[in-house]
């Protein structure tokens, strides 16, 4: 599935945050773990199946108001594309968001 501005990224099946009592924000997936910091963390924390890519970009622009808006959109899309390749996030489009955690 390709990334659209109306896609709602969410963590893929078998991918979750480590328990909250850890000092750092760790994302666990089948082959390992990634520590997300800074902007990466801001993006991945919004991959909840609720936010659209457009909303994520908008919220990031508010956080990083000094940044170039076009650059922020490009970075967010590249980052999400990269995580999709790693099967850490997948996307659902606006019209298909009702099926809860189906494995497609």
* Positions that interact with another protein (CB under 8 A): 1, 12-16, 18-19, 22, 26, 28-30, 32-40, 43, 75, 79, 84-87, 101-103
CA 79/CA 97 separation, integer angstroms = 22
Closest CA to 55 of 38, 80, 84, 86: 80
Neighbouring-strand partners of residue 16: 28
Work out how close the CB of 27 gets to another protein at its nearest, in angstroms, rounded to a whole number: 9
Work out how close the CB of 42 gets to another protein at its nearest, in angstroms, rounded to a whole number: 10
Work out how close the CB of 75 gets to another protein at its nearest, in angstroms, rounded to a whole number: 6
Which letter, b or e, does each residue of 6-34 get, where b requires 16 or more Cβ atoms within 10 Å of its Cβ? ebbbbbbeebeeeeeeeeebebebeeeeb
Closest to another protein by CB, 5 vs 67, is 67
Closest to another protein by CB, 5 vs 18, is 18
């Amino acid at each position: 599935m390709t990334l659209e501005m109306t896609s709602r990224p969410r963590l893929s099946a078998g991918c979750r945050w480590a328990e909250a009592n850890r000092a750092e924000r760790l994302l666990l997936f089948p082959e390992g773990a990634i520590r997300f910091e800074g902007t990466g963390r801001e993006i991945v924390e919004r991959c909840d199946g609720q936010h659209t890519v457009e909303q994520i970009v908008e919220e990031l622009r508010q956080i990083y108001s000094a940044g170039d808006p076009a650059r922020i959109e490009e970075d967010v899309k590249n980052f999400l594309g990269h995580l999709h390749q790693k099967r850490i996030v997948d996307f659902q489009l606006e019209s298909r968001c009702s099926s809860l955690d189906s494995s497609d």
